Amino acid sequence: MELITEVIIFVLAAFVGFEVISKVPTTLHTPLMSQTNAIHGIVMLGGLIVIGLSDDIVNEIIGTIAIAFGTINIVGGFMVTDRMLGMFSRKPKPQVEDKTTVTPAESGGEAGQ
Amino acid sequence: MTLAVLEPGSDGVQLLYLLAVVLFILGVRRGTHPTTAKQGNLIAAVGMAIAVVTTLLLDGIGNWGLIVAGLVIGTAVGVVASLRVQMTAMPQMVALYNGVGGGAVALIAWSEFRHALDIGHELPLDELIPILFSMVVGSISFWGSNIAFAKLQDLIPTKPLAVPGQQVINALLVVGIVAACIVLGINRDDPSEPLFIAVLLAAALLGNLVVLPIGGADMPVVISLLNAFTGLAAAAAGFALDNVALIVAGTLVGSSGTILTLEMANAMNRSVPNILFAGFGGAPAAGAAGGEERPHKSVGPQDAAIALAYADSVVIVPGYGMAVAQAQHAVKEMADELEQRGVTVNYAIHPVAGRMPGHMNVLLAEADVPYEQLKEMDEINPEMPRTDVAVVIGANDVTNPAAKDDPDSPIAGMPIIEVDQAQQVIVIKRSLSPGFAGIDNDLFYRDNTSMLFSDAKGAASEIAAEVENL
């Protein structure tokens, strides 16, 4: 693929990530962090690709460790996120706090003066 | 043996990767609401499965014995670790998973570099630069995350560990790494592997040195930052391998991690450079230093129960100590008893309560505390003067009035839950010892504060029993 095409994809992906993710309420930040953490486990694909490239022993060891690490990242990441989010969905009522405006921090600051 | 069904870089493969990436984006988007987040995580996991299977079917994928070995080992470790981890240890777990991800990126970069050497292929700059970037950043992320894990797990002291001349050493390492990378770039027709490994080790050392001096309280910000780093390193690996799935997924994580990092730092009123380069106020503030013998009031569970049972409104301020003691269920019981007597009970959640944004909400949700009783700091602070009793359970630094009153305090300016404004404060804590930030808490010595020295779980159960008997 052309380098410039990859750069365009990179820049647009950064904006998509920013737009999608900036809407997450604070409450879900730990699960979100865990989920995105699992998503970067996708580097494991790189391990699958490079391990087939050569059959020298050092490369094979490096590649196997990389695949194992990447798989831990993916499997562990998604499972742990699922466990965390399970805590939320067990709630009987789906009443979600949907605050559109949060009181700015000034209120706290003024009270302290 | 190779399955060799799909041609690398063909339209079909790119479309499958696109599908995977779209599922990642949808998954994260669904993660924005508590009701759809679990589904979103599943969607992202399906996307990951598609990406992995697609790659396994590519022409040129071989060495199946090792691939299967890697997948089996990784899956076994991942499954066992995530099933066994306590909810309280979540931040460490994220740090550890982030670390192995960073390690994988660095190893893949190394492997690619070796491959180019083997076949005597001159690496073009648009491949070499991403390789070097992902190697350096992946290595920093691996070692930095491991240190963060060790600190949160109390394997090494959480206090800032400073080496004399730290900043100079770090700066020299950065300069050395950049210089070595430039040399590798200039000699790219015959790059030296020992120099490459030296850079790998220098980056490892840098990862250790940058995180070691950072105090435990700042660790979530660091983990979040390293999460973003690993994402960017994965994107760089995508550039080197011409893999669009890696580029998009890595970049997504890079931008989300950056936002999270800024938001967490913001919640603590600290800037990211300040956290990274200043350590956390090495010595305790002068005003708080001699506080060991300061007078304080203490109460027993019975008195606390009476104060709570006859209050109109009670605010519970849970902290990491409550989580460690696994006291969330006992606290919920206590709250139920109070509510049966007509007391209004709310929970005040500091943005960084627990050790990460949202961590405390997860723990309380685990104990079936209704969502609408969880109030954010900005929402609850104006209510504090009208609150009869504030119960601080295992929280410390986030209630310290010194953040407002003492400009010299290391936590000066950090937003706090203003429990000192409540009519009466009951602090359930084992001792007067300082919290994560390593500083004394003025709150404990206020006139309207009573200390209940006990572990969180026992105290909450006893109070619940006393309230029931009133």
Domain boundaries, chain B: 1-84, 90-278, 294-469
Is B249 a residue whose pLDDT tops 50? yes
Q: Two tokens at B68? A: 């299967």
* B242 a catalytic residue: no
Mind telling me how many Å the CA of B326 is from chain A's nearest CA?
Answer: 15
Mind telling me how many Å the CA of A99 is from chain B's nearest CA?
Answer: 11
d(CA B78, CA B446): 47
Q: Do B260 and A32 touch (CB under 8 A)?
A: yes
* Domain enclosing residue A38, as ranges: 28-85
Q: What is the pLDDT of residue B355?
A: 67
Mind telling me how many Å the CA of B304 is from chain A's nearest CA?
Answer: 27
Coil, helix or strand at residue A68: helix
d(CA A18, CA B252): 8
Q: What is the pLDDT of residue B253?
A: 92
A 44-73 → B contacts, CB under 8 A: 44-56, 58-60, 62-73
Q: What is the pLDDT of residue B55?
A: 93
| Residue A28 forms contact with B (CB below 8 Å) | yes
d(CA B26, CA B39): 10
Q: Do B105 and A28 touch (CB under 8 A)?
A: no
Q: What is the pLDDT of residue B61?
A: 84
Mean pLDDT of all residues in B301-322: 89
Decide if the complex's ipTM is over 0.90: no
Whether A57 is in a domain gets the answer yes
Least confident residue range of B205-214, B217-226, B430-439: B430-439
| Residue A8 forms contact with B (CB below 8 Å) | no
Number of domains making up chain A: 1
pLDDT band, residue B86 (cuts 50/70/90): confident
Least confident residue range of A22-26, B379-383, B394-398: A22-26
Mind telling me how many Å the CA of B290 is from chain A's nearest CA?
Answer: 25
Residue pLDDT, tens place only, B88-130: 788 889 899 999 999 999 999 999 999 888 877 788 888 899 9
Give the DSSP letter string of B178-208. HHHHHHHHHTTTS--HHHHHHHHHHHHHHHH
Mean pLDDT of all residues in A38-49: 94
The strand pairing partners of B449, in sequence order, are B425
Percent of chain B with pLDDT strictly greater than 90: 43
Nearest CA in chain B to A80: B82
Average pLDDT of chain B, as a whole number: 86
Contact (CB, 8 A) for B152 and B86: no
Mean pLDDT of all residues in B169-181: 93
Is B198 a residue whose pLDDT tops 60? yes
The strand pairing partners of B344, in sequence order, are B313
Q: What is the pLDDT of residue B291?
A: 42
Mutate to test the interface with B, among A3, A4, A19, A69 (most CBs of B within 10 A): A69
Q: What is the pLDDT of residue B292?
A: 47
Mean pLDDT of all residues in B235-250: 94
Q: Do B101 and A25 touch (CB under 8 A)?
A: no
Q: What is the pLDDT of residue B250?
A: 95
Q: What is the pLDDT of residue B167?
A: 81
Show residues of chain A in contact with B399, CB under 8 Å.
none
Nearest CA in chain A to B111: A59
Nearest CA in chain B to A1: B242
Structural fold of domain B294-469: Rossmann fold (3.40.50)
The closest alpha carbon to B317, from B416, B177, B446, belongs to B416
Coil, helix or strand at residue B34: coil
Is A94 a residue whose pLDDT tops 70? no
Q: What is the pLDDT of residue B99?
A: 95
Q: What is the pLDDT of residue B208?
A: 92
Whether A61 is in a domain gets the answer yes
Strands of B424-429's sheet in order across = B297-298, B449-453, B424-429, B389-393, B313-318, B344-349, B374-376
pLDDT band, residue B77 (cuts 50/70/90): very high
Is A104 a residue whose pLDDT tops 60? no
Is B178 a residue whose pLDDT tops 80? yes
pLDDT band, residue B286 (cuts 50/70/90): very low
pLDDT band, residue B456 (cuts 50/70/90): confident
Is A48 a residue whose pLDDT tops 50? yes
Show residues of chain A in contact with B111, CB under 8 Å.
47, 50-51, 53, 59, 62-63, 66
Q: What is the pLDDT of residue B4?
A: 62
Given A62, A105, A111, which is nearest B107 (Cβ)?
A62
Please give the residue that has the higher pLDDT: either B180 or B297.
B180
Percent of chain A with pLDDT strictly greater than 90: 42
Q: Do A95 and B371 touch (CB under 8 A)?
A: yes
Given A16, A23, A75, which is nearest B78 (Cβ)?
A75
Mind telling me how many Å the CA of A11 is from chain B's nearest CA?
Answer: 8
